[in-house]
Amino acid sequence: MQDQLGFDMMPRKLIKVTPSRLATWQDCPRRFRMAYVDRPTPPRGGAWAHSTLGAVVHNALKALFDLPVERRSPEAAAALVGTHWKDEGFADREQSGQFRERAAGWVRDYVADSDVTADPVGLERWVSAPVGTIVAEGRVDRIDQRGDEVVIIDYKTGRHALTTDDARGSQALALYALAARRTLRRPCTKVELHHLPTGTVAAWEHTEESLARHLARAEESADEFQLAIDTHKAGGDADVLFPAAPGRQCGWCDFRRSCAEGQAAGPALDPWAMLAP
């Protein structure tokens, strides 16, 4: 049957896609190549304080929901920040201590203002499902059950408050929703960004049309980077297929030391430069 159909009618191999891969490709194809194509992977830079801060907050909240309901108090949540704290990327122990206290306050207030009595459907849950021409996958911070539907929740610790437009425009959240509804076999259209520094929640209720738009953009990017990968494997010029995209992001790129264009774009940032004042 396949011989009769011919090569053009063969089933197309789905492209595995994570929000990180898509964001990296859209941000800078050169960085995409270094992160996902080059082997061995070029040396990365050191830890970033803002990434350490975000990881600690995520780990503390996950650990909180692992506790029995009666122990999920604001004080317990704040203590878990200390338990999971790391000093990586901070200027010194004094700065690290200041942000440890700040993060503990964020988590304490968040738990005080939230209903943490219900067990989430998923914590740091990996979801993966074929959708369209891609396999959408990734790790979701939290998935809640509300009525008959599940809701995607993403924790944020950046310096700026978030808006409904951020939730609506997040390709990552849309892909998580598409993957979660297939993985969990439950409806999923609502996504939320929980910004701990301000205690605010930016929410969006997707429609099938808005999810389809996000999917179409993801498929387009996936086709682009897969074509570049395949052409590179066939002997194509890596610098042409994966061009650098110099900009302000070069100041905090993990592969800056291996990219002359990135170094020329501007000075490197200190590892703590992206912390809030």
Question: Is 197 a domain residue?
Answer: yes
Question: Number of folded domains in the chain?
Answer: 3
Distance CA 191, CA 193 (A): 7
Q: Which of 82, 113, 144 is the last residue of a domain?
A: 113
The pLDDT of residue 9 is 53
Query: Do residues 180 and 207 both lie within one domain?
Result: yes
The pLDDT of residue 12 is 72
Question: Is 8 a domain residue?
Answer: no
Amino acid letter at 121?
V
Query: Do residues 108 and 138 both lie within one domain?
Result: no
Give the tokens for residue 259: 């990219």
Beta bridge pairs of residue 127? 138
In which residue ranges of the chain is pLDDT below 50?
1-7
Give 1-25 pLDDT, tens digit per residue. 344 434 455 567 899 999 999 999 9
Query: Do residues 128 and 173 both lie within one domain?
Result: yes
Nearest to 176 by CA among 140, 144, 210, 204: 140
Q: Which of 113, 133, 155 is the last residue of a domain?
A: 113
Question: Is 233 a domain residue?
Answer: yes
Question: Is 270 a domain residue?
Answer: no
Query: Do residues 107 and 168 both lie within one domain?
Result: no
Query: Do residues 59 and 83 both lie within one domain?
Result: yes
The pLDDT of residue 54 is 98
Query: Do residues 169 and 234 both lie within one domain?
Result: no
Query: Do residues 202 and 181 both lie within one domain?
Result: yes
Query: Do residues 204 and 152 both lie within one domain?
Result: yes
Q: How many CA atoms lie within 13 A of 59 on its CB side?
A: 14
Amino acid letter at 161?
A
Which residue range(s) make up the domain with 29? 15-44+222-265
Give yes or no for a contact between 201 and 193, defined as CB atoms under 8 angstroms apart.
Answer: yes
Question: Is 5 a domain residue?
Answer: no
Question: Is 10 a domain residue?
Answer: no
Query: Do residues 84 and 102 both lie within one domain?
Result: yes
Query: Do residues 248 and 185 both lie within one domain?
Result: no
Question: Is 236 a domain residue?
Answer: yes
Query: Do residues 69 and 95 both lie within one domain?
Result: yes
- Residue 140: alpha-carbon gap to chain centroid: 8
- Residue 80: alpha-carbon gap to chain centroid: 22
The pLDDT of residue 180 is 96
Q: For residue 112, give the 3-state DSSP assignment.
A: helix
The pLDDT of residue 5 is 39
Query: Do residues 165 and 199 both lie within one domain?
Result: yes
Can you give the pTM of this predicted structure?
0.92
Question: Is 271 a domain residue?
Answer: no
CATH number of the domain bearing residue 210: 3.90.320.10
The pLDDT of residue 10 is 55
Q: Which of 214, 231, 250 is the last residue of a domain?
A: 214
Contacts 24+ apart (CB under 8 A), 173-176: 173/204, 174/206, 174/210, 174/211, 174/214, 174/215, 175/17, 175/19, 175/22, 175/131, 175/136, 175/138, 175/214, 175/215, 175/218, 176/19, 176/127, 176/136, 176/138, 176/140, 176/152
